[in-house]
Chain A
């Protein structure tokens, strides 16, 4: 309630003042606007209805004084009533943002001083100034547009993208001149600018409006980096003929030439990485549609002659950028630096054509050389998958020349081949098989046994030798031993011939003689009955033994002429055995 009372009060006071001035002198300050942007201008008018003196303007400290004071006087008589006004005008522009006050101006009329009221001015941020639709530059800007058209804002790495800069010009204005100030730099792209020989104006629509347009510049780009890439803008300096407000003598609009610099807005491209799924191990980076072949000529030659291996990739894609598949040959083939030939056309849709790599190879030795299969991998944009093309396997036949002898001789410094011209040998027809797993003789049990048993034999041999030497030291002892052996043998023979008296007694006699021979150590010639008895007596043999021996020898002699009975033979055999035992005691 109180606020309302105050405002109404104020209005009332103001009304009262103007009413007071009506019949007297009025002196007012008027501003073109009370709120303005910092980029706008302000006009301040001080108006009086009587011609006063000593006009003192307020100080415009807060503003730049752009113009003024401009004085204007109007004096008119209407129906005998004179109306007069005198105006002082100032043009100001604000210095700062904020709220400012325009101070009081004063004037003296007929000895009394009149003052204007204070005016508050609010300065805001810059405001857009409305364009003058008749300004030729404005008209020119409205009637043209420079646009960068991208064929694909979201390509794969190494996929061709075309960028075309088109200058659209409406029917209202004419393009009279064009100059490219700044060709854009395509960082992170492999780019080729496709030159335009002659600018041609064509019709097209842009933003639902029909335009004439001209292609200013065009390029093929192959993104070389993943992620967001920016194409720097293109700047043009153009001359346009714009209709002006003035008319010629026939009533047509006069045209005015305007020079403008236009810049296309910068465009960004989101580059997709190639998929990791199914990416070949040695992927060369080829993206597009390709065909691959490997040829060699001639395929049959002599050592020392040269042949050519040609790897050819043809198709559409980043041909200039791709790495040709590597080609490796056996070390015995001498390969020279390859020669790369390109036959590529670049158009807006990308590169097409073929790339050929030519290898010159000289074989040094005869033989058959299979050339390794070469694989060419690329990313197929149509199917969005990796594809691989393998070359046909080729074999080079070197029919004449030296054979590389020895697995390593060709690696050595001395490359002169020996005059060994042996052909490749066929199969062998004769063979003898043996088990693959042969027991290892070395370190086996039998190996060690075979090694040590002979060594162990040595002491045994030595032992035997010792023994023999000991025996042979008394030759007689050795001899009697052998006589004993004879005696036993004969006695054995005798026992086997027990039935046959003649053979029995012969054997028995021989056995007895042998025993005597060995025991008495006498030669067999000295063995007669008398001699034996004498020697036995000397050896202190029992007389009974001697007599028994004699009787036994006698019965042996008898038995030669008269066959005796089996019983006597048995008793004689036992006697002999007893006798031999007796004699052995000597």
Chain B
């Protein structure tokens, strides 16, 4: 039954595949005209239909940038960067948008572990790591079976080495899968949308201010309290509480 539904959904996706592209074209046409609000509406309706792409987020960011809406433009550029991490246009326009932010917060230098994580763990997404683990298991089992069944000594030696390597790779990639899962859970970037707000030392509006923050600043959510307050970390490592309505999670 599940399979049937899945098949139907798959077919349905083929039927509707034209619509988001049409909307995308429409949005681009509005963008060229300079009618940025209509372009935003068109792009947004694609998102509402449950479809997205890095390019869509990029165009949305551009439309908001042209409308001089700092926070949404940075928000969508960051989303585009998540999907197209190596796209130079995205990085370039994001830096244009970041020029407009008011806060001047020097980031902490990346620690050894952070750079190691970036160099290895963050190269693949969580699902890619999971799939790699499965592939390594399959490779390991297949090559081991081949080792068992094959006759020639060269073949046997080769398949044995392959099986051992695949097993090692499987162990590493499975560990990294869980590590990546952990990282993703603790890595909740968000963009400040309030024009001006401040971090306070406690989750109430009476406590002392830590620092003022302005729209467009990227923060990392550490924890929530009461669903109304969130503890966030700034790029320079300062932490404080802010109303969770002041930002949007990426």
Contacts and interface: CB of A to CB of B under 8 A. Distances in A.
A440 B180 CA distance: 13
Contacts of B208: none
A405 B92 contact: yes
A436 B62 contact: no
Nearest to A281: B196
B53 A403 contact: no
A367 interface: yes
A32 interface: no
Contacts of A87: none
A259 interface: no
B205 to A, nearest CB: 12
B53 A447 contact: no
Interface in A302-355: 328-332
Contacts of A465: 148-149
Contacts of A424: 65, 92-93, 96
Interface in B81-138: 88-89, 91-96, 98-107, 126-127, 129-131, 133-134, 137-138
Contact of B98 (A407, A425, A433, A436): A407
Interface string A430-467: 11111111101111000100110011011001100100
A4 interface: no
A332 B103 CA distance: 9
B28 interface: yes
| B interface, size bucket | 35 or more
A441 B103 CA distance: 38
Given A436-B47, A447-B134, A330 B92 contact: no
Interface stretch (B139-147, B225-233, B241-249): B139-147
A4 B108 CA distance: 113
A328 B126 CA distance: 40
A89 B212 CA distance: 92
Contacts of B133: 451
B55 interface: yes
Contacts of B91: 405-406
Q: Which of A367, A405, A443, A454 has the most CB of B within 10 A?
A: A454
Contacts of A330: 99-102
Given A425-B89, A435-B50, A404 B96 contact: yes
A1 B102 CA distance: 106
Contact of A431 (B24, B62, B105, B130): B24
Contact of A440 (B70, B92, B127): B127
A214 B178 CA distance: 93
Contacts of B17: 433
A272 to B, nearest CB: 28
A36 to B, nearest CB: 70
Interface string B213-228: 0100010000000000
Given A407-B95, A430-B55, A431-B53, A331 B181 contact: no
A370 B99 contact: no
B93 A329 contact: no
B69 to A, nearest CB: 9
A436 B52 contact: yes
Contact of A404 (B51, B98, B103): B98
A424 B138 CA distance: 46
A96 interface: no
B102 A331 contact: yes
A471 to B, nearest CB: 14
A395 B99 CA distance: 13
Given A369-B99, A427-B62, A435 B218 contact: no
A331 B96 CA distance: 12
A432 B129 contact: no
A395 B68 contact: yes
Contacts of B58: 427-428
Contacts of A329: 102
B134 A411 contact: no
B148 A328 contact: no
Contacts of A369: 99-100
B193 interface: no
A437 B52 CA distance: 9
Contacts of A451: 133-134, 137, 174
B207 interface: no
Given A365-B99, A442-B177, A451-B134, A433 B56 contact: yes
B141 A457 contact: yes
Contacts of A422: 88, 92
Contacts of B148: 461-462, 465
Interface in B168-211: 174, 177, 181, 195
A427 B31 contact: yes
Nearest to B20: A433
Given A408-B107, A411-B104, A433-B20, A454 B137 contact: yes
Nearest to B236: A411
Contacts of B94: 407
Q: Which of A329, A430, A436 has the most CB of B within 10 A?
A: A436
A129 interface: no
17 contacts: A331-B102, A332-B99, A332-B100, A367-B100, A405-B95, A425-B62, A425-B92, A426-B31, A427-B28, A428-B89, A432-B53, A433-B52, A434-B53, A438-B127, A440-B126, A451-B134, A454-B142
Interface of A: 328-332, 365, 367-370, 372, 393, 395, 403-412, 422, 424-438, 440-443, 447, 450-451, 454-455, 457-458, 461-462, 465
Given A450-B138, A461-B144, 8 more contacts: A424-B93, A427-B59, A441-B131, A442-B127, A442-B130, A447-B130, A458-B144, A461-B141
